[in-house]
Amino acid sequence: MTYKIGITCYPTVGGSGVVATELGKALAEKGHEVHFITSSLPFRLDEQKSNIFFHEVEVNQYSVFRYPPYDLALASKMADVIKREGLDLLHVHYAIPHAISAYLAKEMVEHDVKVVTTLHGTDITVLGYDPSLSDMIRFGIEKSDMVTAVSDSLITQTKDLLRIDKPIETVYNFVDHRIYYPRVCNDLREDLKIQENQKVISHVSNFRKVKRVQDVVKTFDIIRRQKDAVLLLIGEGPELPVICDLVNELGLKEHVRFLGNQKRVADLLSMSDLKLLLSEKESFGLVILEAMACGVPVIGTDIGGIPEVIEHGKSGYISRLGDLEEAAGYAVHLLDHPEIQESMAEAAVKRAVETFHRDRIVSDYETIYDKALKKR
């Protein structure tokens, strides 16, 4: 059975946009008709296919509005696409505001369209604490026909925080193994002036406060006292200037490469010996999975969904949030024992392929769609 599916997400760089876009592409490959309804072209939507459509949400800046009404413009575009294209369902990523816009759109049309909402984290772990928004988030979740979250931990947090008993199903994030797989990238090592004996440690994020990139740099500083290593910082975001200052203060300038947003992330990951993600909030950590798929063990913090992705001591290490000595200890132990690193790299790839394979997760979403549409 194939469906006409509308997908709404934040189209900019970020895990939820990546997952939503890759899901849309995979659904189209399986014969579904996919309509992206977003404020700009999703950055990963780089291919032309006859069953993938893009409907841009234009937000007009009328002088009567103090703030541009994105959520209303989105609802109106959704209603328009539902009617014109005869959509079976809307799959929205983020409860606020997307599930609310979807609810409004559904009320505006006579057509029986179903709404599937996927929770990615920030809508619950940050916005859920704001009393002025929590009732609205709860409403968006309760009015959706099916709700998914990207980890069991996010479901627990959602239920505890919002006191709802609506069933929520875990559907983990996934990677495309045609893009993320282990490879040798000697040219890149040369370009980045990394010596043969130097170990490579990487970190990928949007440099928001919750990512605690300072902890990454400080942990690297401890590792550097024992091992000759280079730190690759991939991504951009608000904390970047603070991180630059810290790197200078610690005298690490020569050993840290600031790479900004990169297209060759899979290559950069593949050439890494280890990756660090020491966030204080992380509902899943898609970048962990991308590294694992490239055969790179990750040291992650014991928060959110991270322990559901990394099996401690097998495919990486789980370190206590803020315990930098512990994280550095795991790193040095790994870098000192090539045999452990090799077996962890193997286990990481195996876990990424077996548990988080694109085909498996996409078919989980199709099952969710079937269930939503049976509610007709």
Beta carbons within 8 Å of 198's beta carbon, 6+ residues apart? 228, 229, 230
Cα-based distances in Å from 349 to 181, 217, 270, 357, 376: 8, 26, 11, 11, 41
If one asks whether residue 157 binds ligand GMT (CB under 6 A), the answer comes out as: no
- Minimum CB separation of residue 45 from ligand GMT in Å reads 15
Stretch that binds ligand GMT, among 8-16, 48-56, 140-148, 260-268 (CB under 6 A): 8-16
If one asks whether residue 44 binds ligand GMT (CB under 6 A), the answer comes out as: no
- Minimum CB separation of residue 150 from ligand GMT in Å reads 4
The only residue of 19, 141, 171, 345 in contact with ligand GMT, by rule CB under 6 A: 19
- Minimum CB separation of residue 40 from ligand GMT in Å reads 15
If one asks whether residue 206 binds ligand GMT (CB under 6 A), the answer comes out as: yes
If one asks whether residue 282 binds ligand GMT (CB under 6 A), the answer comes out as: yes
The only residue of 74, 150, 298, 372 in contact with ligand GMT, by rule CB under 6 A: 150
- Minimum CB separation of residue 257 from ligand GMT in Å reads 22
Stretch that binds ligand GMT, among 25-33, 118-126, 134-142, 356-364 (CB under 6 A): 118-126
- Minimum CB separation of residue 44 from ligand GMT in Å reads 12
Stretch that binds ligand GMT, among 37-45, 187-195, 206-214, 270-278 (CB under 6 A): 206-214
If one asks whether residue 284 binds ligand GMT (CB under 6 A), the answer comes out as: yes
Tokens 């899901």 sit on residue: 23
- Minimum CB separation of residue 205 from ligand GMT in Å reads 7
- Minimum CB separation of residue 284 from ligand GMT in Å reads 4
Q: Assess contact for 213 and 235: CB atoms under 8 A.
A: no
- Which candidate, 256, 141, 253, 144, places its Cα nearest to that of 201? 256
Stretch that binds ligand GMT, among 248-256, 282-290, 327-335, 365-373 (CB under 6 A): 282-290
Stretch that binds ligand GMT, among 127-135, 193-201, 202-210, 311-319 (CB under 6 A): 202-210
What is the rounded CA–CA span in Å between residue 195 and residue 112? 61
Q: Which is nearer to ligand GMT, 297 or 305 (CB)?
A: 305
If one asks whether residue 210 binds ligand GMT (CB under 6 A), the answer comes out as: yes
- Is the backbone peptide bond immediately before 97 cis, with ω within 30 degrees of 0? yes
If one asks whether residue 204 binds ligand GMT (CB under 6 A), the answer comes out as: no
Token digits of residue 224: 């550097």
Build a one-symbol-per-residue string for 296-335: x at contacts with ligand GMT by CB under 6 A, - elsewhere: ----------------------------------------
What is the rounded CA–CA span in Å between residue 293 and residue 357? 10
The only residue of 120, 143, 224, 351 in contact with ligand GMT, by rule CB under 6 A: 120
If one asks whether residue 283 binds ligand GMT (CB under 6 A), the answer comes out as: yes
Residue nearest to ligand GMT (CB): 121
If one asks whether residue 16 binds ligand GMT (CB under 6 A), the answer comes out as: yes
- Minimum CB separation of residue 32 from ligand GMT in Å reads 21
The only residue of 6, 11, 15, 295 in contact with ligand GMT, by rule CB under 6 A: 15
Residues at the site binding ligand GMT, with contacts judged by CB under 6 A: 14-17, 19, 120-122, 125, 150, 173, 206, 208, 210, 281-286
